[in-house]
Structure 1
Amino acid sequence: MNKSSHKSPNKTQVNSRTLGRTGLSVSEVGLGCWQLGGDFGPVSAATAEAVIEQAVKEGINFFDTADVYGNGISEQYLGKILNKLAPEAVIATKYGRAAGTYPDGYSLTDLRDSVRRAQDRLQRDCIDLLQLHCVPEQVLAARHIFDWLREVQQEGLINAFGASVETHKEAEICLEHSDLQSLQIIFNLLRQRPIEALFDRALAQQVGIIVRLPLASGMLSGKFSKDTAFAATDHRNYNKDGEAFSVGETFSGIAFNQGLEIVDILKQSVPEGMTMAQFAMRWILDHDAVTTIIPGASSAFQVTQNASVSQLPVIDKTTHQRLFAYYESAIEQHIRCPL
């Protein structure tokens, strides 16, 4: 297996930011690899490889995955492609949602075994960043799981650890640990509360913010309509009301038709020359607390479109203020999950 040297790729399109206190320079637009596991509908090996290869071409060097994305398939794709094209790329994977682990099977042995399996799939001797994967609040509060993370870190199995969380309370629990390097959260135009609830503390503690679902499962692409249909295997179909896991992970917790109405209003703020999707992602990157966004992609073209956001101009302060006011008055009340 290869050890990552973390040299910056010779690319200029995507700007970089430092991840927490790790010293790792990561592209501010990364690649979210949930999609490559098939949870948004079937993805062929050829498509998955083309997406990863295009990300490398665009200068993206941060890849977010998990052991449960396609039961390890997403990690395997990354290991196969990045080992050849970009062994210096930073890979963040996760622990905590696999069968037998979630909701009450957590232990040091289980964690260590999960990391070793991930190393095999990723073809890495050391995991760059291991994130707790939406672990139940009571498990986080018990604190043992953080001691186990430190132990596997001391063993050289992981370089750094962070947490992917569902709620602000979970984020606060994680921030009690001074060696936490990152928090992965849902943050987008439909979920703006972290601006006031989280960002100042994260900046003060130098904890990197990784933003998942920047387009709210595609809702903020502006391309959906009431006639849009999703594959039976797509979580936007089987989890639209939270039947399988937190509804917050699908359309950011807002009912589909309600989301369409909100997006129609948000489109009025999109500057000339930007698409709705570009505007939504540029808005996120305007926040200093954010280290990187991890949009998914189902084609090489989408990767290029996402990467281009890094070079778009900052959105003016007045627009930011107007969007937050609209969030407080007309969006937040429709979110169907704990914040």
Structure 2
Amino acid sequence: MQQRTFGRLGRSVSEIGFGAWAIGGSWGEVSDRDAEAALEAALDAGVTFLDTADVYGDGRSERLIARVLKARGRPDVMVATKAGRKISPHVSAGYTPEALRGFVEDSLRRLETDALDLVQLHCPPVEVYYRPELFEELDRLVTAGKLKAYGVSVEKVEEAIKALEYPIASVQIIFNMFRLRPAELFFGLAKAKGVGIIARVPLASGLLTGKLSASSTFAADDHRQFNRHGEAFDVGETFSGVPYDVGLAAVEEVRAVIGNVPMAQFALRWILAFDAVTVVIPGARNPAQAASNAAAADLPAPTDEQMAAIRAIYDARIRPYVHQRW
């Protein structure tokens, strides 16, 4: 597993991490046994960056991570969590210093640690980026030893660029073969400031595995069913905001570009071709998926011809639906 430096923090992390949304909830049922086995497989493969959130399974994801890391003797793994989505209704006024402190204390308890490696504001309303007092509170939590660093998770490129005005350590953003806009301006700005970039939804909710079809079905508690049109949260989190039938058609064109490489692995390796990206965080519901994700780091980089072909597919098929929306 190759390592990358996490921005100005200077900490080395595996370039492929583990996104722990799927083992927490909203992707159909995953047993504790399967969830822990997936985490174990990722760690065995050299993964040293885990991404979770307080709302994933209402804390279940954090507790699972704590249990696995404790059993392994607390290895040198960076655990990033998130805070803010427990606010209901999810509006800027709910983001207060008191609320942030409470979220941090709750995550400290669930993760069974004295200091959180990284706390990210969890896709807050845009107004939050115009409230410096909230970032000042995060600074105080760092000074108090509750956090080692903080960052943001965003929906839109514009939010990511605005966040760079604060002393953040990282930005988490959707980036994959169906969401190219972050690379146009934001990546260069973040890299220049020493801000780590965490690429999420790398497989477009499974579209870029090449295994879904028009006849695929999803459980009622899977966001690919209940959030298909943005009913529960930003539709960009589900299939990267790409209409399902449009995505399936584009996937067939991608299949012709990549040859015999498993599409999920190619999609992850494609992201790593962008050196501004610090870590990509695919999810996994079982050990086989976790091991396969980690193995993508060993693939050769896509060729210039493949990169150009993917861009052409994006421009022709995907761009009209997503490019100026996020």
2:182 is aligned with 1:194 = yes
User: Which residue matches 1:218?
Assistant: 206
Whether the 8 Å CA contact 2:6–2:12 is kept in 1: the answer is yes
Q: Distance in 1 between matches of 2:73 and 2:258?
A: 35
Q: Distance in 2 between matches of 1:128 and 1:110?
A: 19
CA contact (8 A) 2:181 2:323 kept: no
CA deviation after TM superposition for structure 1 residue 271, in Å: 3.4
Confirm or deny: 8 A CA contact 2:207 2:247 kept in the other structure.
yes
The 5-angstrom pairing of residues 305-320 of structure 1 reads: 305-320=292-307
Say which SS state the counterpart of residue 218 (structure 1) adopts.
helix
Shift of 1:26: 0.7
Structure 1: gaps spanning 5 or more residues: 1-13
Report percent identity of matched pairs: 44
Partner residue, 1:97? 85
Equivalent pairs, count = 324
| Residue pair 2:246, 2:318 contacting (<8 A) in 1 also | no
Superposition map of 1:291-302 within 5 A: 291-302=278-289
Q: Which of 119, 123, 136 lines up with 1:130 in the alignment?
A: 119
Which residue type is aligned with residue 234 of structure 1? Answer: D
Aligned to 2:224: 236
Secondary structure at the aligned position of 2:219 is classed as: coil
Partner of 1:54: 41
Change (3 A) 1:115 1:337: farther
Q: Residue 140 of structure 2: which of 137, 142, 151 is its match?
A: 151
Instruction: Measure how far apart 1:336 and its partner are.
Output: 8.8
| Counterparts of 2:312 and 2:192, CA distance in 1 | 25
Secondary structure of 1:35 counterpart: coil
Task: Report the CA distance between 1:148 and its aligned residue.
Answer: 1.2
Residue pair 2:223, 2:238 contacting (<8 A) in 1 also: yes
CA contact (8 A) 1:60 1:307 kept: yes
User: Aligned pair in 2 of structure 1 residues 21, 86: CA closer, same or farther (>3 Å)?
Assistant: farther
Normalised by the length of structure 1, the TM-score is: 0.93
Residue identity in the other structure for 2:271: I
Partner of 1:284: 271
Distance 2:42 2:174 in 1: 22
SS at 2:124 equivalent: coil
CA distance in 2, matches of 1:216, 1:144: 34
The 1-side partners of 2:283 and 2:269 are apart by: 15
User: Structure 1 residue 101: deviation in Å?
Assistant: 7.2
SS in 1 for 2:291: helix
* Contact persistence 1:248–1:337 (CA under 8 A): no
Q: Runs of 4+ in structure 1 displaced over 4 angstroms?
A: none
Task: Give the corresponding residue for 1:160.
Answer: 149
State the shift of 1:317 in Å. Answer: 1.8
Matched, 1:44 2:31: yes
One-letter amino acid of the structure 1 residue matched with residue 161 of structure 2: E
Using the TM superposition, give the Cα deviation of residue 120 of structure 1 relative to its aligned residue in structure 2, in angstroms. 0.7
| TM-score, with structure 2 as normaliser | 0.97
